[in-house]
């Protein structure tokens, strides 16, 4: 773990205050955690950050707010008069500084403990305790944690948190904060907690699985604020399906001032279950630290899985797999932010699975830990992304490398985290972004990496250093032609679905023939469905569908409002047929890596892209059932290849029949 510690230390140099690198998501004893959820004192706008770089003068609060929450969910922003046709409208949008304050109580049993403040998801923050500055933290994609010290007196203290949602790491229309979807909210969501540890504690633990040998390597970092040397024992044990009963390892460890690293190998037994989409077996690891006056324990779930590439395709535990993917742009119209609980993500992923989806690509954002935990349970392959598209300059790398490092540290143990992209559709900074990929791979080898999703589309070639490529078209060499790997395209090079004639013979074998690694078809589909105006009534949360209201009025002015349902059904039926041909073209292609749809779900931003079989709430539009969709989007799909759809009575219909199979077991021989 030493290389990880040193590398991340370099990432954070130059940042001020108590911005600290913190470990992977784990669970601790309940008596060492105090929730700060509830009512906070609230002040919007003034004073601005920077007015109080040192001691904070008492603020004059005249309002309260409920946390976790945002100014939108609490209706604390100024009322908006906007009526956008470009996307949804936020009635209470606010950008700037908000102040959140409450009294906290340090329990008597925490005397001498190291106390931290945990903010699961927020924007740029500064923190004061009893008016004394603690520090600042710019991290957006993962939790922030502030070290409040080891000498807090038991009893009451005043905690003040300032959140500035205008201070973003880079300028980009990224969905981590984009108004296209979740919006650039101000607030704190998820868990808000005080946490206590002994002055020597388990600061970080990372689990590196080796599925083939059924063993794991546990990399542990110990923190130490005592400035003295000590020693103790680390006990590592695992349990789960097929894990041997004696999967335990005890290791003696010494900790100098400042802490140390340890690396422990643990065999789980030959029958330990592997993790994949068909059998997402999870195991639990318990790590216990003990010494003179020192005790700490953490638990973390993990999966035995090796996600890799071979022969231009992806493999899971050595078996070829195919990505049936969905694009996700953080579309949650009721809250304006993603679910922070596992149940919300289980509902979302189960809907995706009902349509045969096994892969989610998060477009320029990284979801909270709850999404990864839910995907772990269900066997979904995830690709989070850094929040950027554009010219990847050195300044962008400097700003986003801490975000990337924290994504790896905080979320890297989740078996569902199989791929990591540096953002979307970059057009500049090739060497810069490739250097970031190399540095991140050196930090964490558990994932596949790519410089960007559909990055540098004029090249459309997989460079050395990328594990795969996500693109709409492929070049075999620098001067060669672009060959489409999706059926529709907005540029000059249109796809076969647009140009016709309609048939089921097309595949992308010629396009991907020279690719060194897996090719994934980028943002496939984008077929618009006429809006169903009954959806307007669903927008009862932080977003309003004024765009749909204006479209409805235009139809009424034209005297055709009574035909809106017919328009929605007819356009939806055509879109479903086009999506089917897109997906089957990929499945017909030998050695194809997979596809990502844009989208199974409506994308309400960027001009109101109603491109889904499901609406923005993940509810069916009644166009096609999940069972019908899975006839062409599933681990096993029967394919018929014929040259046209229209036949005359004097012709004999001929077709070749194939099976695309990426199931859990090989199909039995058929003759």
DSSP one-letter string for 381-395: EEE-B-S--SB--HH
Q: How far apart are CA 449 and CA 521, in angstroms?
A: 16
Of the candidate ranges 4-8, 83-87, 141-145, 401-405, the one whose mean pLDDT is the lowest: 4-8
DSSP state of 216: E
Q: How far apart are CA 227 and CA 3, in angstroms?
A: 22
Confidence check: pLDDT of 25 > 60: no
Question: Which helix (DSSP H) or strand (DSSP E) does residue 250 occupy?
Answer: strand 248-255
Span 503-530, mean pLDDT?
Answer: 95
Residue 79 confidence class, pLDDT cut points 50, 70, 90: confident
Q: What is the structure's pLDDT at 53?
A: 64
- Record the tokens describing residue 604, joined without a space: 């309400």
Span 324-339, mean pLDDT?
Answer: 96
> Residue 353, by phi and psi: left (phi above 0), alpha (psi -120 to 50) or beta?
alpha
Q: What is the structure's pLDDT at 202?
A: 97
Model pTM? 0.94
Confidence check: pLDDT of 458 > 80: no
Confidence check: pLDDT of 416 > 70: yes
Q: What is the structure's pLDDT at 29?
A: 67
Confidence check: pLDDT of 377 > 60: yes
Residue 20 confidence class, pLDDT cut points 50, 70, 90: very low
- Record the tokens describing residue 261, joined without a space: 């690293």
Q: What is the structure's pLDDT at 418?
A: 98
Span 171-185, mean pLDDT?
Answer: 90
In the chain, the largest separation of any two C-alpha atoms, in whole Å, equals: 93
Q: Which of 308, 239, 264 is nearest to 446 (CA)?
A: 308
Question: Which helix (DSSP H) or strand (DSSP E) does residue 3 occupy?
Answer: helix 2-11
- Record the tokens describing residue 475, joined without a space: 């070049």
List beta partners, residue 603.
Answer: 609
Q: How many residues does the chain have?
A: 671
Q: Which of 321, 317, 217 is nearest to 275 (CA)?
A: 317
Q: 419: helix, coil or strand?
A: strand
CA distances, 383 to each of 72, 244, 365, 422, 600 (Å):
28, 32, 10, 10, 17
* DSSP-derived secondary structure for 307-352: EEEETTEEEETTEEE-EEEEEE----TTTSS---SHHHHHHHHHHH
Q: How high is the mean pLDDT of the chain?
A: 92
Residue 514 confidence class, pLDDT cut points 50, 70, 90: confident
Q: What is the structure's pLDDT at 671?
A: 54
pLDDT digits (tens, 9 = 90+) for 112-143: 999 999 999 999 999 999 999 999 999 999 99
Which long-range contacts does 165-168 make (Cβ < 8 Å, 24+ apart)?
165/94, 165/95, 165/96, 165/123, 165/124, 166/95, 166/96, 166/97, 167/49, 167/123, 167/124, 167/138, 168/123, 168/124, 168/140
Residue 670 confidence class, pLDDT cut points 50, 70, 90: low
Confidence check: pLDDT of 87 > 80: yes
Span 13-30, mean pLDDT?
Answer: 45
DSSP state of 8: H
Q: How far apart are CA 315 and CA 318, in angstroms?
A: 5
Q: What is the structure's pLDDT at 56?
A: 87
DSSP state of 273: P
Residue 500 confidence class, pLDDT cut points 50, 70, 90: confident
Tell which wins on pLDDT, 34 or 607. Answer: 34
Q: How far apart are CA 92 and CA 185, in angstroms?
A: 10
Q: Which of 17, 37, 24, 38 is nearest to 148 (CA)?
A: 17
Residue 83 confidence class, pLDDT cut points 50, 70, 90: confident
Residue 257 confidence class, pLDDT cut points 50, 70, 90: very high
- Please list, in sequence order, all residues whose beta carbon lies within 8 angstroms of the beta carbon of residue 567, skipping any fewer than 6 positions away: 530
Q: Please report, for the chain, how many H helices and E strands are present, in that order.
A: 10, 33
Confidence check: pLDDT of 12 > 50: no
Span 398-417, mean pLDDT?
Answer: 98
Residue 243 confidence class, pLDDT cut points 50, 70, 90: very high
Q: What is the structure's pLDDT at 10?
A: 30
Of the candidate ranges 29-33, 350-354, 530-534, 663-667, the one whose mean pLDDT is the lowest: 29-33
């Amino acid at each position: 773990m030493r290389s990880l510690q040193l590398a991340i230390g370099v990432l954070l140099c130059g940042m001020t205050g108590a911005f600290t690198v913190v470990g992977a998501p784990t669970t601790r004893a309940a008596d060492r955690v105090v929730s700060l959820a509830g009512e906070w004192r609230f002040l919007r706008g003034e004073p601005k950050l920077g007015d109080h770089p040192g001691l904070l003068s008492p603020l004059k609060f005249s309002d309260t707010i409920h946390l976790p929450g945002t100014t939108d969910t609490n209706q604390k922003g100024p009322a908006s008069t906007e009526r956008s046709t470009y996307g949804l409208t936020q009635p209470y949008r606010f950008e700037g500084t908000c102040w959140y304050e409450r009294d906290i109580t340090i329990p008597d049993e925490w005397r001498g403990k190291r106390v931290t403040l945990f903010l699961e998801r927020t924007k740029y923050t500064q923190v004061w305790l009893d008016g004394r500055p603690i520090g600042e933290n710019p991290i957006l994609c993962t939790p922030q944690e502030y070290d409040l010290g080891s000498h807090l007196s038991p009893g009451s203290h005043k905690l003040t948190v300032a959140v500035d949602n205008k201070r973003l790491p880079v300028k980009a229309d990224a969905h981590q904060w984009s108004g296209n979807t979740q919006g650039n909210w101000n607030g704190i969501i998820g868990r808000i907690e005080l946490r206590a540890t002994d002055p020597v504690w388990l600061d970080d633990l990372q689990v590196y699985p080796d599925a083939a040998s059924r063993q794991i390597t546990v990399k542990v970092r110990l923190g130490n604020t005592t400035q003295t040397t000590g020693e103790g024992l680390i006990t590592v044990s695992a349990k789960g399906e097929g894990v041997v009963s004696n999967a335990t390892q005890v290791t003696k460890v010494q900790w100098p001032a400042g802490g140390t690293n340890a690396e422990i190998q643990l065999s789980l037994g030959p029958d330990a279950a592997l993790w994949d989409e068909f059998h997402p077996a999870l195991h639990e690891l318990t790590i216990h630290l003990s010494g003179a006056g020192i005790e700490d324990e953490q638990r973390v779930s993990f999966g035995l899985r090796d996600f890799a590439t071979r022969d231009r395709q992806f493999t899971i535990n050595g078996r070829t797999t195919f990505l049936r993917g969905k694009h996700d742009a953080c579309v949650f119209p009721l809250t304006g932010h993603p679910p922070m609980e596992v149940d919300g993500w289980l509902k979302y992923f189960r809907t995706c699975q009902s349509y045969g989806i096994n892969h989610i690509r998060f477009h320029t954002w990284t979801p909270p830990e709850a999404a990864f935990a839910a995907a772990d349970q269900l066997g979904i392959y995830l690709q989070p992304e850094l929040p950027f598209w554009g010219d990847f300059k050195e300044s962008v790398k400097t700003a986003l490398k801490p975000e990337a490092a924290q994504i790896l540290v905080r979320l890297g143990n989740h078996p569902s985290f199989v791929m990591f992209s540096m953002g979307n559709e970059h057009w500049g900074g090739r060497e810069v972004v490739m250097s970031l990929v190399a540095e991140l791979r050196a930090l964490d080898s558990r994932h596949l990496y790519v410089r960007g999703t559909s990055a540098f589309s004029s090249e459309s070639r997989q460079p050395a250093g990328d594990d795969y490529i996500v693109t709409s078209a492929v070049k075999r060499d620098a001067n060669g032609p672009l060959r489409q790997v999706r059926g529709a395209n907005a540029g000059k090079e249109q796809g076969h679905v647009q140009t016709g004639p309609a048939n089921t013979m097309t595949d992308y074998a010629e396009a991907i023939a020279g690719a060194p690694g897996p090719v994934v078809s980028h943002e496939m589909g984008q077929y618009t469905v006429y809006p169903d105006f009954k959806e307007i009534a669903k927008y009862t949360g932080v977003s309003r569908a004024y765009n749909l209201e204006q479209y409805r009025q235009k139809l009424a002015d034209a005297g055709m409002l009574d035909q809106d349902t017919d328009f929605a059904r007819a356009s939806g039926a055509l879109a479903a047929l086009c999506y089917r041909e897109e997906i089957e073209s990929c499945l017909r292609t030998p050695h194809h890596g997979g596809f990502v749809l844009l989208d199974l779900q409506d994308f309400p931003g960027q001009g109101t892209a109603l491109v889904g079989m499901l609406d923005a709430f993940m509810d069916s539009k009644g166009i096609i059932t999940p069972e019908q969709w899975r006839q062409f989007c599933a681990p096993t799909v029967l394919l018929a290849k014929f040259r046209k759809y229209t036949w005359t009575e004097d012709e004999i219909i001929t077709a070749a029949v194939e099976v695309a199979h990426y199931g859990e077991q090989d199909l039995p021989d058929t003759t």
